[in-house]
Amino acid sequence: MKLKNSIITARTAPIFLVVFLAFTTISVISANVTVNPLPKPREIKWGEKGPISFPLNIQLMSSSSSIVTLGWKRALKLIKHDRWVVQAVEAEPPASNPFPPKIQTPGDKRKRSIFEVRSENSTAITNSTNTTTTTASATNNTTTTTPTKDNLTVKSVNVNVSNPTAELQHGVDESYTLEVKEDALIITSPTVWGALHAFNTLTQIVISDGKDGLIIERTVLIKDSPLYPHRGLLLDTARHFYPVKDILRTIEALAWSKLNVLHWHIVDSQSWPIEVKAYPAMTNDAYSNREIYTPRDVRDVIEFAHERGVRIIPEFDMPGHARAGYLQIDPSIVACANAWWSNDDWPHHSAVEPPPGQLDIINPKTYEVIKNIFAEVSAAFPDKLYHAGFDELQRYCYAYSNLTVNWFKQNPNNTYGDLAQYFLDRAYPIFTDKKYGSKHIIMWEDVFLSDDFAANKVPKEVILQTWNNGVNNTKKITSSGYDVIVTSSDWFYLDCGNGGWVGNDNRYDQNVDNGKILFNFAGGSSGSWCNGYKTWQRIYSYDIDFNLTAEEKKHVIGGEVALWSEQSDSVVMDAKIWPRTAALAELLWSGNKNEEGKKRYREMQQRINDYRERLVSRGVGAAPLQPKFCYKHPHACDLNLEKFVPG
């Protein structure tokens, strides 16, 4: 089945009126438009008239949807709060002097600097507004216009939704049209979910007039829709507990960014922080009584997200990463729970990180527990998708299971692939049985691609989430006919870049680079398998459908960034998630290329800088991306002076 289809105000900051370069697909450049909404709309045409006053007492003409009514109230509240003054305006860099002739000294045979070579091939760019306007027009085949002063005012707001009862499920139509006329604002969308996206775009194009009023700089027509239906963030609440208020704040920011999925990795080997009525003792393995999600908490998260067009997809990983909670039910259903995780003796490791624990696949009691937990969880989470895990199964863990050892003895030709299939054949029918809630199942790619623990036959209906080996694994999955969610760790893991976290690690006891063991020194791992901070440019530059055929691309339903929480909690989550996740938002909404097919990370820089400031002003502790000097001097901090330099 293919599924593709603290608050700070900027009121007193200076206003910059400069050229705003092309929006995607179809653009008309305005010499006076400074706003730069993120994600960049698929199609935007700025008109000739403006500015248009935007009164805060404006009301919807009519709406039969509570989702639309509440969304409009939130949008007005944000606009009133922001009274935004653009903090990072897009413009051409200032004129720069060419590199002077090299001072040649006798015997100086050094090679010419790469910068000298580039300077000879670069066209001088002036800082004149007129020159910039002309260049932008020539590049984008558009005509610049001068705004009029007509005392225009938005007097009415009309929202037209053709299918107001469309459910918030995978593949729902999220497109919208937003038109700002001289005296009216018109939003058209097939669903209320598209209308919410229009509101979030609106909050980014209404700005301060420099006094006490608000304006939209020009009349404008925006036609917008996402490239991918699944656009999300994975949040791990097992390694550290995240209070509900912090989850809600994150969901709010996801909605502002037109992301529509929170993949909630609720439990893992370390803790079981969610109440299950069938097995109330499971929360004995929560970190404390204060670090438990109640049924009311779950409902609050789901309802809050639903009002904002964000879907909550739960993950209960199994049979791997399974220890906490299950031990409170029946220790016999957990293998290797009391083993040493054996990282110091890798051939005998029982887990990739402590503590070890995997569900005993051969124990029939395991499936009775799975059935009871799934039936309850399925009823609590209304989304039709459910993540069943199946990543990082470790073979040696089952050396501690007498049932599994005997099973292999009785079936000497069996492999670990057969053991994986044994689990899949028993668990998958539970997940798809209407009696227990029947969900469309997502699993980690390991169930299909693991070198030593892949199942023999995975149903084609299973959506596979890829996290390893980049574009190669995406190719393997899609070419085999599976739908895929891309979460490639080399690009999309937000937790990477902090070094190792296991204790008593002698590898740090290294004072000299001996040229053999690169651990603490440049090029070393610093104790982390995924060392290397994933910058917004790395996230944004990733082509998730790279090297796929047209048919294979149909199987890519979207992607997620992931915040695994071994070294993250609610104190640092904002800075780790934002604004990098906004780069994913644009990548999956309108792409990372301009109408000429060239990467547009150059123009994205000021857009994401401004968006970061907006997030901070709204109470989200997003991390800075550049010195503020770079905001005020567009492209002065670029590595390359040329507009487009291939990677």
- The CB density around residue 180, as the number of other CB atoms within 10 Å, is 27
Residue 493 has a CB neighbour count (10 Å cut-off) of: 21
CA distances from 566 to 7, 204, 242, 492, 494 (A): 29, 35, 12, 16, 12
Whole-number Å distance between alpha carbons of 481 and 487: 18
CA atoms in the 13 A half-sphere facing the CB of 17: 12
Catalytic member of 392, 552, 560, 586: 392
Amino acid identity for residue 646 in this structure = P
> Which residues, 6 or more positions from 143, have their beta carbon under 8 angstroms from its beta carbon?
28, 29, 137
Supply the DSSP symbol for 593: B
Q: Are strands 385-389 and 311-318 parallel, antiparallel or unpaired?
A: parallel
How many whole angstroms separate alpha carbon 207 and alpha carbon 34?
A: 9
Burial 524-557 (b: 16+ CB within 10 A, else e): bebbbebbeebebbbbbbbebbeebeeebebbbb
Q: State the angle between helix axes of 416-432 and 365-380 in degrees (0 to 180), rounded to the nearest 10.
A: 40
The residues facing 486 across adjacent strands are 466, 559
Measured distance CA(98)–CA(135) in Å, rounded: 20
Active site residue 392: yes
What tokens appear for 14 in the block?
């200076």
CB of 414 within 8 A of CB of 407?
Answer: yes
Neighbours of 332 (CB within 10 A): 15
Tokens of 162: 């053709």
Q: Where in the sequence numbering do the catalytic residues fall? A: 392
